[in-house]
Amino acid sequence: MRTPAKTSRTAAALAVAAALGLAGCTAPEGEEEAAATPGVTDDTVTIGTHQPLTGPAAAGYSAVSAATSAYFAYVNDHGGVNGRAIEYLVKDDGYEPQRTNEVVTELVEDDQVLAVVNGLGTPTHSVVLDYLAEEGVPDLFIASGSRVWNQPALYPNAFGYNAEYTTEGAALAQYAMEREPGATVCVLGQNDDYGEGLLEGVEAVMGSNEITEIQTYTTASQDLTDQIGTLKAAGCEVNILATINGYTALAVGTAAQMDWAPKWYVSSSGADYPTLVGHLGEEAAAQLLEGMVCVNFLPFGSGSEWTALFEQINDEYNEGAPFTANTVLGMSVGYLFAEALAKAGDEPTRESLIAAVESGAVLGNGIVPLAFSETNHGGYGTVGIMTVEDGVQDYSGTTYEVEVGHVSAVEAAPVPLANGGIPTG
């Protein structure tokens, strides 16, 4: 969205530039490239993001950008990428679209970032999608599973990161049908693209007539009594949730107050066990979350070299913050940007950065390689099933690839750790 302030600032900048040109002034060596490529100097690359550091999504999600910052600090201490340190500007939008618009405008027009990386949230990022496209700013690895981001013809600069909500819904439904045949399946979701996308994935696998009850909620309300009461009355045995962490805990806690213990199948956005423990308390979480099923697409568990590296970085550069799935998410997306920057060349530009991602050489560090191309700007299309057993959340060994609602069991093919987790060109 363009604003009058932006228009006036742009006009003023053009007038100043024209005046300098007529005066015959020349920029010192090195500054012309910096002016031609926002956010790039001889020594640094500056990028930015919008994140919910406060507000209803802050619990858990505020850890994402802190982890990304920690990973970049690690990279910078080891020489940066192609000799440049990464400067990462984090703006708090409180999970409010209006504030997202304000802070992203600041990042682009005042801070002159090279790219916006991992902007978090479907309702929040949606309001800046067109603006970033108009400005030609690389809009990389959006922290949301909406399919809207994967439209290269409309948004050639935008790339998703998370598995699409339809992918997660389809995978969860497939697993429910295999492990709970004949169970009464219901859906609870956020009343936006998040909930709608997950529901669409469930319907693609089960058929809409096989879903017994569908309930939605808004993040403006902190009460799920009506929704959970309706699901209980419908006899739901498996509830598939499109909820952020706080509302997953609220749903599970509300059901417990009603003396109801169905099975919970949860999207990756709302299933981080340590975060849920923070909401529910250790004793309640151990009881209420036992057997919880969810999906993930990133390294996890004590057997992963990536997890071991990220735990080390977390201890050294993140002040020993709690190590959660959101820590892994933040560091993984940091690695992915560093990988793209390394492939963008010694003199990166916005154009070369986008070309690097589309080249197919940027793989990420997930349970399967990413598959970006000129025609595919979507994130992970393959997800693994995770379960909670005896208070431990880990992969179950079941991995699904989802294509247009068709779900196939595949073998995970994790991207190996190399060069200490610091990408090279």
Every domain of the chain with CATH number 3.40.50.2300 lies at 37-163+302-380, 165-296
Cα separation, 191 vs 219, in Å, equals: 9
Please give the pLDDT value at position 11.
Answer: 39
Please give the pLDDT value at position 33.
Answer: 43
Please give the pLDDT value at position 301.
Answer: 80
Judge residue 177's burial from the number of C-beta atoms within 10 Å of its C-beta, 0-12 exposed, 13-18 middle, 19 or more buried.
Answer: middle
Burial 199-209 (b: 16+ CB within 10 A, else e): bbbbbbbbeee
User: Strands of 85-92's sheet, edge to edge?
Assistant: 85-92, 44-51, 116-117, 139-142, 158-160
Q: What is residue 425's DSSP assignment?
A: -
Q: Would you give the distance in Å from CA 370 to the centre of its chain?
A: 14
Q: Which residues of the chain, if any, have pLDDT below 50?
A: 1-34
- Provide φ and ψ at 103, rounded to 5°: -75, -30
Looking only at the bridges linking them, the beta strands covering 392-403 and 382-389 are antiparallel
Cα separation, 394 vs 162, in Å, equals: 18
Please give the pLDDT value at position 12.
Answer: 36
Q: What is the pLDDT of residues 379-424, one digit of tens each?
A: 999 999 999 999 999 999 999 999 977 999 999 999 999 999 999 9
Please give the pLDDT value at position 10.
Answer: 38
The answer to whether 46 and 39 have CB atoms below 8 angstroms apart is yes
Please give the pLDDT value at position 91.
Answer: 98
The answer to whether 127 and 97 have CB atoms below 8 angstroms apart is yes
3-class SS letters over 274-306: HHHHHHHCHHHHHHHCCCCEEEECCCCCCCCHH
The answer to whether 248 and 266 have CB atoms below 8 angstroms apart is yes
Backbone φ/ψ region at 82: left (φ over 0), alpha (ψ -120 to 50), beta:
left
End-to-end CA distance of the chain: 35
The answer to whether 217 and 224 have CB atoms below 8 angstroms apart is yes
What does each C-alpha distance from 186 to 215, 222, 239, 266 come to in angstroms? 8, 21, 5, 12
Cα separation, 49 vs 81, in Å, equals: 19
CATH architecture of 37-163+302-380: 3-Layer(aba) Sandwich (3.40)
The pLDDT mean for the chain works out to 91
Give the bridge partners for 293, in sequence order: 265, 387
Q: What is the pLDDT of residues 127-182, one digit of tens each?
A: 999 999 999 999 999 999 999 999 999 999 999 999 999 999 999 999 999 999 99
Question: Looking at domain 165-296, which of 3.50.50.60, 3.40.1030.10, 3.40.50.2300, 3.90.1300.10 is its CATH number?
Answer: 3.40.50.2300
Dmax (CA) for the chain in angstroms is: 79
CB contact set of 123 (below 8 Å; sequence gap of 6+):
95, 97, 192, 193
Q: What is residue 108's DSSP assignment?
A: I
Query: How many other C-beta atoms lie within 10 A of the C-beta of residue 57?
Result: 24
The answer to whether 118 and 161 have CB atoms below 8 angstroms apart is yes
Please give the pLDDT value at position 287.
Answer: 97
- Provide φ and ψ at 242, rounded to 5°: -110, 75
Please give the pLDDT value at position 26.
Answer: 42
Please give the pLDDT value at position 113.
Answer: 98
DSSP letters, 201-256, are HHHHHH-GGGEEEEEEE-TT----HHHHHHHHHTT-SEEEEE--HHHHHHHHHHHH
